Amino acid sequence: MALLCETSYIEMKSNFLKCFIVWAVVMTACVLAGTQGLFTKIIKNDASYICVTIMATYLPVSVYLLWVARQFDRRGFREACRSGRFDWLAQRMEHIEYAAQTFMGLGLLGTLIGFCIMMDKALGTQTSAPDVSMIVKQLYSGCCTALYTTVVGMSAAIPLTLQRHILLHTNHEQ
């Protein structure tokens, strides 16, 4: 705890900046992906709509994390050291950790749903002479759901986990 309180307040002011840089990189990637039509493709090909849920939830959660970083910078690190109370940050970090784990879980759930769709399509094919191209087309929607939900879930969880680590590492391990 003594090492934690020896950190200068100027260093602590950078929490918001570090988290904002990660957020800005993610938002830039989202804009670039949007201009290439990736979001439209994901929404069109995701039969489970889990990707839409993850994408719609990521923005408010990431803004919440930025707010937490800003509030912690403003509340005064030295005062928190004197009082010995870091409960405020710990409680908020639990929310961020829960959101990141939920995004990963939803991605995994979408993957399983996609595989179920693929198996349903594959087992539902009742032809005397199997037409490989027709079977592949039927498996496409399940494969898209599986892969897109995995990618979107990880893409939402990884930046949140990184930002959470920035806040916790800066404030608890120095």
Q: What is the mean pLDDT of the chain?
A: 80
Q: What is the pLDDT of residues 103-146, one digit of tens each?
A: 999 999 999 998 888 888 777 666 555 677 777 777 887 888 89
State the average pLDDT over residues 6-28.
Answer: 75
CA distance 68 to 66: 5
> What are the distances in angstroms from CA 174 to CA 2, 97, 160, 170?
10, 21, 21, 6
State the average pLDDT over residues 27-47.
Answer: 91
Name the more confident of 63 and 2. 63
Helix axes 14-35, 132-172, angle to 10 degrees: 170
Q: In terms of Cα–Cα distance, which of 172, 173, 118 is closest to 144? A: 118
Confidence label for 170 from pLDDT (cuts 50, 70 and 90): low
Q: What is the pLDDT of residues 149-165, one digit of tens each?
A: 999 999 999 999 998 88
Share of the chain above pLDDT 70, in %: 79
The predicted pLDDT at position 13 comes to 57
